[in-house]
Each structure stands twice: as structure tokens, then as C-alpha cells.
Amino acid sequence: MRNRSKDDIIIEMLSQLETPQLKTRLMYSCHLSYVQLKKYLQLLKEKSLIVQHTDGQWTISERGKEYLGAYRVVKDLIEHDDGSLMTKDSVNDADVTLVPDLSPVISSSHRP
């Protein structure tokens, strides 16, 4: 398994916690050590992205669902049809306009 970024681990944990889970199941499903799991649970709880229930299970919070949804939207925007991510070079090589040219609109709306 490749080394994952902090963001990759957070997104994986939030995705897994869409279904309530105990720590052990989460640890195995996200391929984390116990030390890593404790660190990320504390971080996500401090950021109010997850909640712990009285039965010991953890689940994603409403704020966490919003964060995960925003991540998925951005990911969809930057992925190519073949699943590879857009890079600076691929955007430069592509024949696309990511931002429309607004100069005619701006210049006509600011006439003296």
C-alpha cells in the first residue's frame, strides 16, 4: 500500500463512518495502527467532524457529512473521465477553458 496523505486518511475515515463503527473495525477498515487511529479520532472529534455514541460507536457528524460532500464535489471536478487526476500539465495540454473570459463584461459594466 502506498503512503497516504493526512487528507486521504481523513476522507477514508469519514467515508467509513457513514455507518457507525467501533474503533477496532474502523482501524482495520482504514488500515491504521492503533496509535494512528487515536490521533485521527482526536483530530476529527476536535473539528466536530465525527461523534462518539454512548454505546462506543463512532459516526460522521452533520459537519463531517458536509466536509465529505464538498470533498467529493471537488474531486469530481478535477478528475478526468479515465479516473486520473488533472495536473497543472494536463490542464495546460488540454484544449479547455476553465475560467471564461470576463473582460468584455467587466469593461462594458465599468464605463465612465
The amino acid occupying position 110 is: H
* Residue 64 belongs to some domain of the structure: yes
Number of domains in the chain: 1
What CATH number does the domain containing 50 carry?
1.10.10.10
* Residue 105 belongs to some domain of the structure: no
- Specify which residues 31 forms β-bridges with: none
Q: How far apart are CA 48 and CA 27, in angstroms?
A: 19
* Residue 1 belongs to some domain of the structure: no
Q: Report residue 60: phi and psi, to 5°.
A: -75, 140
Find the mean pLDDT for residues 55-67.
96
User: Count of alpha carbons within 13 Å of 60, Cβ hemisphere only?
Assistant: 18
pLDDT of 101 strictly over 50: no
* Residue 49 belongs to some domain of the structure: yes
pLDDT at 2: 72
Structural domain boundaries enclosing 64? 6-79
* Residue 32 belongs to some domain of the structure: yes
* Residue 85 belongs to some domain of the structure: no
* pLDDT tens profile 24-33: 999 999 999 9
Q: Which pTM was predicted?
A: 0.70
pLDDT at 51: 98
pLDDT at 78: 83
pLDDT class for 39, splitting at 50, 70, 90? Answer: very high
* Residue 19 belongs to some domain of the structure: yes
Instruction: Tell me what percent of the residues of the chain surpass a pLDDT of 70.
Output: 70
